[in-house]
Structure 1
Amino acid sequence: MNQQEQPRIEKFVVRFPAGMRDHIAAASRLGHRSMNAEIVARLQHSLGHWPDSLPVARHAAPAGDEECYLLDRFRGLPPAKRQALLALLD
């Protein structure tokens, strides 16, 4: 295969959240492929099902349960985020 027949390969740098690289490495080992091949396969799968896989528009909280929903979400926040939210409300 000469240079004109070779497929074009594009490079793209991605910053992963902490721990994601380890998850990708584990998944790639299970699939017996490189981390790059794992990432590309998952992106191809995701984009192949797009936009069908997008969430359907819906309300964030069931009607009438807004206060309970907000209180549950607030209680699930780390203390620093709770304090930040309360500071915004003051």
Structure 2
Amino acid sequence: MSSITAATGSTDVDKKENENKGITISVPDKVDISSITGVPEEHVKTRTVRIFVPAVNSMQSGTYNSRRWRMEFDERERWENPLMGWTST
């Protein structure tokens, strides 16, 4: 069998790449990447959320879609990433 192409048309390099796909790399600790994302720290650390069940509309007679919990985050001012020029939403 040739080292370039086997009879099936696949190369030895293809076989080695398929063997390497099953390898996992373990990282010893969780790494905090918040300092390199460009998001200001006050937008990440001190964000509060209000979790509630919304009141039923006075025009609503049934219970459809009235038993779901909702989450509302406090609105923050927009900020711009100085490196990329991206603006937050």
Give the alignment's TM-score, normalised by structure 2.
Answer: 0.25
Q: Which has the larger radius of gyration?
A: 2
Compare the two structures and name the one with the higher strand fraction.
2
